[in-house]
Copies of this chain bind each other. A is one copy, B any other.
Amino acid sequence: AETLAHASSTAGVGVDQELISSVPSWNPTFTERNFTDAEIAYCRAQPAPEASFAARWVGKEAVFKSLGVSSRGAGAPVKDIEILPDAAGVPTVVLHGEAKAAADAKGIAKVHLSLSHSETTAIAFAQAASS
């Protein structure tokens, strides 16, 4: 019964990539619309803030895809998906507002996420798990 309680299934996966140079993280209007205060503070404190913003930007899109809902192109509030590192540095997804409602409606309990950036490109992979 204990094992049963921990078992979960994949509800969806999401991948996204973007050139770091194409994410306008130098623009405060862009960052304030799409990132939470905590995300902005974190990214600005990193050695390469533009790479950190770009990684979170593609991370949010990958999470959207994993939820199986219409993506930001449809006007979904990107800021509702917050990505912050846990104590071990693992990017951790917290959903708010409409994104949380969509996840709850699908029985999605957790979204696993990983981020990576090379010198030019940011990439993210997300996996939504239902319980």
Query: A: which residues have CB within 8 A of B?
Result: 3-10, 12-19, 62, 65-66, 68-71, 88-90, 112-116, 118-119, 121, 123-127, 129-131
Count the copies.
3
Report whether A10 and B8 are in contact in the complex, using a CB–CB cutoff of 8 Å: yes
Given contacts A70-B88, A90-B68, A127-B127, contact A116 B8 (CB under 8 A): no
Question: What chain B residues lie within 8 Å of A69 (beta carbons)?
Answer: 88
A17 to chain B, nearest CB (A): 5
How far, in whole Å, are A51 and B76 apart by their CA atoms in the complex?
Answer: 24
The answer to whether residues A125 and B13 also contact, given A65-B90, A118-B19, A119-B19 and a CB cut-off of 8 A, is: yes
Among B9, B62, B90, B125, contact of A129 (Cβ-Cβ < 8 Å): B9
